[in-house]
Structure formats: C-alpha cells, structure tokens
C-alpha cells in the first residue's frame, strides 16, 4: 500500500488537460451534505425518544399542572378565606381583649400601687423623720449646746470648773432628755410603721385579688372563645382533611400508580430491550471496525505509529 500507484491509460474521448468530473464537485457542497448526513439521527433512536417523551413526560407534565391548579384553588378558595377569617374574627378581637381587659387594668393597678407606696408610705416617713426627729434635735442642740457654749466661752478662766460641772450636769440632762425623746420617737415610728404595714397589706391583698380575678376572667373568656371558635374550626379543618385532602391524595397516588408507574416501567423495559442492544450492536458492528480501519490507514500512511 506504500508503493507508487500504477499508471492508467488516458481516456481517448477526453481532451487533454480536462479535469475529471468527480473533481469538479465543490468542496463546500460535499461538506454540507456530509454534515447533514452526520447530523441526521437514526430513525429508530428518534422514534424511541419520541415514544419515551410521549409516554413519560406528558403524563408527568399533566399531573404537575393538575397538582398546581389544585393547590392554587385550595389556596384561593380555602386557605386565604380561612386566614382572613381567623385574622379578622379571632386574632384582632383577642388582641383587643388582651389589651383592653388585661394590659390596661394591670397598668392602672401598677400606677395605683406606685402612687399608694409614694403617698402613703414614703412621704409620711419623710415627714415624721423631719418633724419628730430632725427639727427637735436641731433646736435642742442650738438652744442647749451652741448658745451656752458661746456664753461660757465669753467667761473668764476661774469659772471654768463651775462651767465644767454645769456642762456635765447639762450633758446628763441632755442625755436623759434625748433618751426619752428617742424612746418616744421609736414608739411613734413603730406605730406609724405598723399602720403603714397594715395599709400596704390591705392594698397588696386588693391588688392580688384584682390580678387573680382578671386572670380567671381572662381564662374563662379564652376558654369560651376556644369552645366557640377554635374547637369548631379545628373540627372543620379535620373534617376537610379527612374528607377532602386525604381522598385527593389517595386519588393522586392511585392515578400515579395506574398511569405513571406502568409507563415508566414500560419505558425502562423498552429502553433495555431496544436502545441497549442497538447501542451495543452499533459499537461492535460499526464503531469498532471503523476505528480499527482508520487506525490501520493512518499507520499505513505514516501519520500514526
């Protein structure tokens, strides 16, 4: 195959210098025809692909559209009205009831308790401490200590002993007076503290009873709303689930099992019975011999080792 090709006699009917007819065909047209032939799929593979698309893809597409339409209808005519009804008839009244019957009374009770604590406890204590303890002590110190000390400081030194004795006696008298005043103030403050404690206990009991009553009232109202609204709504939703959603799901499952699964199994069996053997036959009968022939030609021409 690598030697010089033999010479062929010239055609006497062909003039000298004429080009053979096979060489006159344009290269572009031959390339277009070869590409068209190469791109044209085998008729068996195209028919199998179309059959698979018709058998598998079309039912799945129709089932998907049916599920989407059912979901849109359920959302538009069931879920959206139920959500609006719950929001307008249940959530808004519950929020208004909680704000009006629980939060606002609790705020007023807290404000009343704060006012009672400031007005009935703190201000009386401050007034009693100022009027009964601080002002008498300040007056006693000013009248009995500061002024005598100033007067004694103006006297001469010989009267120091008498002044010291008088100061000692005055200190004893002041100590006894302060002790008595302290006992009286302690008794008064104890009485005031007991009275304020009784008032605080009474106010606390009233507040606790009010909070417990409001809590019980809210529980009864919420229980009534549950029995009147939520429980019937739950029963209705359960009935809809049992009599609408469950049968619809079972119907979809039955349609799937009756149509899609047999079609898919048939398509798989057809693929295994037709496409697989055809592919193996093409590889063994066409592709492998063509590959070996092209390899031998390339080796013979010296283009491949």
- pLDDT tens sequence for the chain (305 residues): 444 444 444 444 444 444 444 444 444 444 444 444 444 445 565 666 666 556 666 677 778 888 888 888 888 888 888 888 888 888 888 888 888 888 888 888 888 888 888 888 788 888 887 888 788 888 888 887 777 777 776 665 556 666 677 778 888 888 888 888 888 888 888 888 888 888 888 888 888 888 888 888 888 888 888 888 888 888 888 898 888 888 888 888 888 888 888 888 888 888 888 888 888 888 888 778 777 877 777 777 676 66
In the chain, the N- to C-terminal Cα span, in Å, equals 16
Radius of gyration of the chain (CA): 56
77 vs 282: CA distance, rounded Å = 57
pLDDT number for residue 268: 86
51 and 270 in contact (C-beta within 8 Å)? yes
Measure Cα distances from 247 to 71, 73, 86, 240 in Å. 15, 16, 26, 10
Which residues, at least 6 apart from 91, have a Cβ–Cβ distance to it below 8 Å?
A: none
Helix locations, the chain, DSSP H: 27-39, 43-52, 58-74, 80-86, 92-98, 104-117, 123-129, 135-141, 147-153, 160-225, 231-240, 246-255, 261-270, 276-282, 288-300
123 vs 131: CA distance, rounded Å = 12
Handedness of CA 122, 123, 126, 132 (dihedral sign): negative
pLDDT number for residue 19: 41
pLDDT number for residue 163: 66
pLDDT number for residue 51: 63
100 vs 302: CA distance, rounded Å = 100
pLDDT number for residue 291: 76
249 vs 243: CA distance, rounded Å = 11
User: For the chain, which residues make up each domain, given as ranges?
Assistant: 52-262
pLDDT number for residue 305: 67
pLDDT number for residue 69: 86
**Crossing angle, helix 261-270 and helix 43-52, to 10 degrees?**
170
């Amino acid at each position: 195959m690598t030697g010089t090709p033999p010479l062929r006699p010239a055609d006497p009917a062909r003039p000298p210098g004429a080009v053979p007819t096979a060489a006159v065909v344009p290269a572009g047209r031959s390339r277009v025809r070869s590409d068209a032939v190469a791109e044209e799929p085998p008729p068996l593979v195209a028919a199998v692909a179309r059959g698979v698309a018709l058998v598998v893809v079309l039912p799945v597409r129709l089932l998907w559209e049916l599920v989407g339409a059912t979901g849109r209808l359920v959302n538009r005519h069931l879920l959206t009205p139920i959500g609006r009804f719950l929001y307008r008839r249940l959530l808004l009244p519950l929020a208004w009831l909680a704000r009006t019957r629980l939060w606002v009374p609790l705020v007023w009770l807290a404000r009343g308790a704060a006012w009672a604590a400031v007005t009935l406890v703190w201000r009386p204590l401050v007034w009693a401490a100022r009027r009964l303890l601080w002002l008498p002590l300040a007056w006693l110190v000013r009248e009995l200590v500061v002024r005598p000390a100033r007067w004694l400081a103006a006297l001469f030194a010989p009267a120091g002993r008498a002044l010291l004795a008088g100061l000692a006696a005055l200190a004893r008298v002041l100590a006894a007076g302060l002790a008595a005043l302290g006992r009286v103030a302690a008794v008064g403050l104890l009485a005031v503290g007991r009275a304020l404690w009784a008032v605080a206990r009474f106010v606390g009991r009233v507040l606790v009873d009010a909070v417990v009553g409001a809590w019980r009232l809210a529980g009864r109202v919420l229980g009534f709303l549950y029995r009147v609204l939520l429980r019937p709504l739950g029963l209705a939703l359960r009935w809809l689930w049992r009599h609408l959603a469950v049968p619809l799901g079972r119907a979809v499952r039955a349609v799937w099992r009756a149509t899609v699964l047999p079609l898919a199994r048939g398509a798989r069996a057809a693929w295994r019975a037709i496409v697989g053997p055809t592919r193996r036959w093409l590889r063994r009968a066409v592709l492998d011999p063509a590959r070996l022939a092209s390899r031998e030609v390339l080796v013979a021409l010296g283009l491949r080792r």
